[in-house]
Amino acid sequence: MAAARLAAPVKNETEEDLNPFRIAMRQFDTAADRCNLDPGLREVLRRPRRALSLSLPVKMDDGSIRVFEGFRVQHNSARGPCKGGIRYHPGVTFDEVKALASWMTWKCATVNIPFGGAKGGIVCDPHSLSHGELERLTRRYAYEIMPIIGPDKDIPAPDVYTDSQTMAWIMDTYSMAQGSNAPGVVTGKPTFLGGSFGRSEATARGCLFCVRAACAEMGLSLPRTTVAIQGFGNAGSIAAQLLAEQGARIIAVSDSQGGIFNPAGLDTVKLLEHKQKNGTVNEFPGAKSIPSEAVLAIECDILIPAALENQITLGNVDMVKARIVAEAANGPTTPGADITLHKKGVMVIPDVLANAGGVTVSYFEWVQDLQELFWDEEDVNRRLERVMVKAFSDVLANAKKHDAPMRTGAYILAIERVAKALVVRGIWP
């Protein structure tokens, strides 16, 4: 089953290659061509260092046994312990996890935090599992990846359809096996278990800092902008709140079940309550229902893809009307669509920058856990702003210097940082 999924050429109607890992390597190659890298070193940076594929047997509530497929991939650890989320989704593949792991390496280097890149995933539909089944699946997964994770080795975090509860189970499983409390083994924990204030808002807040800087660069006034958001989970829903608080008008949002549109602006506080109550943004009073994918084509200033990969493709890129695309999601734009957007003068704030607020506050959480000294939310947000503002300006300057899109600017910066660490450390033995 997995082998078939990996081998199948994934193409869309425009014959684009949608395999996430090949896309990640293509993005790397585009930037690496402009870096003066030793060919052997370049090969080291392209490949994952370690990739674990797992079979996870779980006793289901009805007494039957089901075997789930799981992965943990560590892409690079030259600059520090590996870091990256865990995704629960029916569409997870090994190649997707490899791509997400490599994007974590470049993300951590782009914002200059001392981590390498990793990612994990389980092929499952968490919405069809009971609380008990999810706990047993999570603990079995944590047990199986235990030899390669740890506060100094690899530190997981939440991603699509995982949350602070998932992290608490992993932390507990690891701590039980070690015989001592190890809060630093995961980030994104509840605050009362060593989590950081500001972590759940961090991805969206980092995105907001990038959007604010992009508006200044594009001559837009943020409080006068209109915004469309695809995906209304952790990243998307909080981005909607924070941008609305700045005066921006959120005119369209979508989730996996559909989209809604109101040109006069959506009340994001009421929308969040509606989503929490009904499990979807659909049928929000006062808004018009639209197909989920129509959100990408809405006439707006800022488009925030905050769901999954390969959403803006050669097949629909011509319909994108936004002036700024802020990639809260990982990998939402295909390389072909990226080129088209750049030619159209759209500023794409790449995922490795736009959603790096999450891993930045995860880094703060890890630091707080290790020193057992906790900061208040204001302190966390102030530090996050400093990191994001500096990273945005470094990436923009690099993009201008190389006359390249922001993604290539970010990758060149990141590749040079990781390559420097690798060269000075040397290749062992």
Residue 206 in the binding site for ligand NAD (CB under 6 A): no
> Of 215-223, 251-259, 402-410, 414-422, which segment contacts ligand NAD by CB under 6 A?
251-259
Closer residue to ligand NAD in complex, CB, 310/422: 310
The distance from CA 366 to its chain's CA centroid, rounded to whole angstroms, is 18
Distances (CA, A) of 299 to 48, 93, 251, 318: 39, 33, 9, 12
Determine contact, residues 360/381, Cβ cutoff 8 Å: no
Set 119, 153, 277, 420: catalytic member: 119
Beta bridge partners of 348: 325
Tell me how far, at minimum, the Cβ of 241 lies from ligand NAD, in Å.
13
Closer residue to ligand NAD in complex, CB, 156/358: 358
> Of 21-29, 55-63, 326-334, 397-405, which segment contacts ligand NAD by CB under 6 A?
326-334
Residue 111 in the binding site for ligand NAD (CB under 6 A): no
The SS3 of residue 382 is helix
Residue 166 in the binding site for ligand NAD (CB under 6 A): no
Site size for ligand NAD (CB under 6 A) = 24
Residue 360 in the binding site for ligand NAD (CB under 6 A): no
Residue 235 in the binding site for ligand NAD (CB under 6 A): yes
Candidates 226, 330, 334, 381; binder of ligand NAD (CB under 6 A) is: 330
The SS3 of residue 341 is helix
Put residue 403 in one of left, alpha, beta given phi > 0 → left and psi -120 to 50 → alpha: left
Candidates 120, 231, 335, 350; binder of ligand NAD (CB under 6 A) is: 231
Residue 180 corresponds to which tokens in the numbers above?
């001592």
Candidates 95, 133, 135, 255; binder of ligand NAD (CB under 6 A) is: 255
Distances (CA, A) of 325 to 20, 213, 320, 322, 341: 19, 13, 9, 7, 9
Residue 333 in the binding site for ligand NAD (CB under 6 A): no
CA nearest to 24, candidates 1, 53, 45:
45
Determine contact, residues 211/302, Cβ cutoff 8 Å: yes
CA nearest to 316, candidates 14, 44, 19:
14
Tell me how far, at minimum, the Cβ of 328 lies from ligand NAD, in Å.
5
Candidates 137, 308, 399, 415; binder of ligand NAD (CB under 6 A) is: 308
Candidates 355, 381, 398, 408; binder of ligand NAD (CB under 6 A) is: 355
Candidates 166, 196, 230, 408; binder of ligand NAD (CB under 6 A) is: 230
Tell me the DSSP string of 149-170.
-BTTTEEEEE-TT--HHHHHHH
Report the alpha-carbon distance of residue 359 to residue 105 in Å, rounded.
11
Residue 358 in the binding site for ligand NAD (CB under 6 A): yes
CB atoms within 10 A of CB 75: 29
Closer residue to ligand NAD in complex, CB, 77/234: 234
Please tell me what DSSP assigns to residue 312: B
Report the alpha-carbon distance of residue 41 to residue 194 in Å, rounded.
38
Tell me how far, at minimum, the Cβ of 42 lies from ligand NAD, in Å.
26
Tell me how far, at minimum, the Cβ of 356 lies from ligand NAD, in Å.
7
Residue 317 in the binding site for ligand NAD (CB under 6 A): no
Catalytic residue status for 288: no
Residue 329 in the binding site for ligand NAD (CB under 6 A): yes
> Of 31-39, 60-68, 227-235, 391-399, which segment contacts ligand NAD by CB under 6 A?
227-235
Block residue for tokens 């991603």? 159
Residues that bind ligand NAD in the complex, under the rule CB under 6 A = 158-161, 203, 230-236, 254-256, 292, 306-308, 328-330, 355, 358
Catalytic machinery residues: 119
